[in-house]
Structure 1
Amino acid sequence: MALQPHFPVHTSLWTLAPAIAAMLAYLLAAFSVQRFGHARTSLYTAWGLHLLSLAAGLFSPPPHFGFAPALSITAWLMLTMYLIEQQLYPRMRAASILASMGAVAVLLALVFPGTSLTSEQSVWLPLHLALGVASYGLFAAAVVHAGLMTRAERRIRSASEDGPGVPLLTLERIMFRCVNAGFVLLTATLLVGWLFSEALYGHPWRLDHKTIFSLLAWTVFAVLLLGRARFGWRGRHATHMVYAGAIMLLLGYAGSRFVMEVLLERGV
């Protein structure tokens, strides 16, 4: 089955302009990092334009939401955390990959804006979505730091001088802080979904594809945090568990909504 872009009928200059501008700013940032080694101005510009693009998609009547807007918000949250960390650790090097991911996320949200949110939906839905997306953003940030750790370990083993710019222990500490905060928000997301399932989705709580993968991700992160507290888990063992939990979380929400919205062309 060929994938068909789902441009909504309300797509306008207000929606298109900031999205296209954000993509161009992200691409410029990625190019600047590769060519000149820095991209501070273009990254901040892309951050602001991305925020404007999100606002246009979420608040222009009728508001839309789906797997691609969720990924777009997650990418924006990752960049937000990176820009904050840059104030503390100016030598941290992740701008190129974050800029590339941001450009792809904005494009996906423009092509696949999701389904419309109606006023008849539960008042708990915004809270449920906000908690979920915030947890995804934190876990995504944990994945970025895990990736920097993996790269740093490889550079250390190969005696390379080109590292991530931040001490390995600092990266590990930030990664676990992201996992801790993300775990709290994911727990709250699952509890809201369980307690208010009928109001949110019109049916009692059930073990569907999304729920199973979300619970598996929750279990992986719970085991990781317990292992860290009891046995001092760290290094490659910890990063591999972060990768595994994040993949399950991605399959649980974005994967299921992609199938429903794009392949089956149904709202969720």
Structure 2
Amino acid sequence: MSQSLLFGISALFALMPATLVGFRANGGRDALFWATLAVALAGPLAWFVVQMSGAWQTGLSPALWATITASIIIYAGTAGLTDQAWRLAPLVGGYLILIGVVALVWQHAPETAQRVSAPGIWTTVHIVVSVSTYGLVTIAAVSALAAFLQERALKTKQPTRLTRILPSVTDCERLLVKLLVIGEGVLALGLASGIAVNIGSSHTAISLDHKTILTIATFVVIGGLLLAHFRTGVRGRIVTRFVLLAYLLLTLGYPGVKFVTDVLL
């Protein structure tokens, strides 16, 4: 078994305790919650550091592990700063495990974007901002999914063990709006840093490739949703659907492009 595969499996298993702890009936932000969250962060972070220590990798698997790492960091911060975000642990953990499985399966896929030397300052800023944006919108999308599950449970009058743990619909919507506001600001920084990178490399402000177009579309969707929310008070399923649409666009623009170039082509 290769060292890379061993680290990947270890990182995947590191995500499981936090997910299982999230299903506790009388859970909370106690020592066990934070300890398992620290383990969940340590696994993917160790994999990422080891893989990037030799040369910068731009393939699908490293991108997914970077997404997992960023999402855990953002979720930990959100859980520490808000009262109800800790209740999302089962959904956040379960979704990140799915991403980890995909990353593990495609870990040895050949990369069309080969390993390169350490990126420059603007490229580094752009990468950090882009991954942070995707992490923020990931947690917002999980909040939207939680709101959808709660609405369905209320409508059918059949709550499940999961919906009894998740935040209320109101708390989910409040949380995802906060995350989207921050995500929109960080996404704007990402677009600005991307322009700086393009100017430095090709002397053009914007490259109209698939990633750029989908990122701009995401920026417009999130901006329109926030504008509608603050002006007209739109909420409920409309908010949920638009958040998931924004996440789909961002997914197509970030790991989606890497999947096409590294796996399909």
Shared fold, TM over 0.5: yes
Q: Give the one of 125, 128, 149 matched to 2:126.
A: 128
Aligned residues: CA RMSD:
2.9
Q: How many angstroms does 1:28 deviate by?
A: 6.0
Q: Give the one of 96, 100, 115 matched to 2:97.
A: 100
Closer, same or farther in 2 for the Cα pair 1:49/1:95, shift >3 Å? same
Closer, same or farther in 2 for the Cα pair 1:196/1:84, shift >3 Å? closer
Q: Give the one of 152, 155, 174 matched to 1:154.
A: 152
CA contact (8 A) 2:65 2:100 kept: no
Opposite residue 18 of structure 1, the aligned amino acid is: F
Closer, same or farther in 2 for the Cα pair 1:96/1:33, shift >3 Å? farther
CA contact (8 A) 2:64 2:100 kept: no
Q: How many angstroms does 1:247 deviate by?
A: 0.8
Closer, same or farther in 2 for the Cα pair 1:108/1:56, shift >3 Å? farther
1:173-197 deviation per Cα after TM superposition (whole angstroms, max 9, x unaligned): 1101111111111111112212330
Q: How many angstroms does 1:261 deviate by?
A: 2.9
Distance in 2 (CA, whole Å) between partners of 1:35 and 1:174 is 20
Distance in 2 (CA, whole Å) between partners of 1:245 and 1:232 is 19
Among all aligned residue pairs of Structure 1 and Structure 2, give the percentage whose two residues are the same amino acid: 26
Q: Give the secondary-structure state (helix, strand or coil) at the position aligned to 1:64.
A: coil
Q: How many angstroms does 1:16 deviate by?
A: 4.1
Opposite residue 66 of structure 1, the aligned amino acid is: G
Q: Does 1:75 align with 2:64?
A: no
Distance in 1 (CA, whole Å) between partners of 2:59 and 2:132 is 15
Closer, same or farther in 2 for the Cα pair 1:101/1:81, shift >3 Å? farther
Closer, same or farther in 2 for the Cα pair 1:184/1:239, shift >3 Å? same
1:7-55 deviation per Cα after TM superposition (whole angstroms, max 9, x unaligned): xxxx963x4443221223335665x469977895655423211111111
1:200-245 deviation per Cα after TM superposition (whole angstroms, max 9, x unaligned): 4x46232111111111111111100110111111111011001111
Q: Give the one of 36, 39, 54 matched to 1:45.
A: 39
Q: Give the secondary-structure state (helix, strand or coil) at the position aligned to 2:130.
A: helix
Q: Does 1:232 align with 2:230?
A: no
| 2:49 equivalent in structure 1 | 55
Q: TM-score, normalised by structure 2?
A: 0.80
Q: Does 1:115 align with 2:94?
A: no
Distance in 1 (CA, whole Å) between partners of 2:96 and 2:251 is 20
Q: Mind listing any 5+ residue stretches in structure 1 that lack a counterpart?
A: 1-10
CA contact (8 A) 2:133 2:183 kept: yes
- Aligned pairs (5 A) from 1:1-40: 13=3, 15-27=4-16, 32=20, 40=33
CA contact (8 A) 1:145 1:175 kept: yes
Q: Give the one of 45, 48, 64 matched to 2:57.
A: 64
| 2:214 equivalent in structure 1 | 213
CA contact (8 A) 2:92 2:142 kept: no
Closer, same or farther in 2 for the Cα pair 1:259/1:105, shift >3 Å? closer
Shifted more, 125-134 versus 209-218: the winner is 209-218
Distance in 1 (CA, whole Å) between partners of 2:45 and 2:237 is 34
Distance in 2 (CA, whole Å) between partners of 1:80 and 1:161 is 30
Aligned residue pair count:
249
CA contact (8 A) 1:75 1:101 kept: no
Q: Give the secondary-structure state (helix, strand or coil) at the position aligned to 1:160.
A: coil
Q: Give the secondary-structure state (helix, strand or coil) at the position aligned to 1:116.
A: coil
CA contact (8 A) 2:14 2:42 kept: no
Q: How many angstroms does 1:153 deviate by?
A: 0.3
Q: Give the secondary-structure state (helix, strand or coil) at the position aligned to 2:254.
A: helix
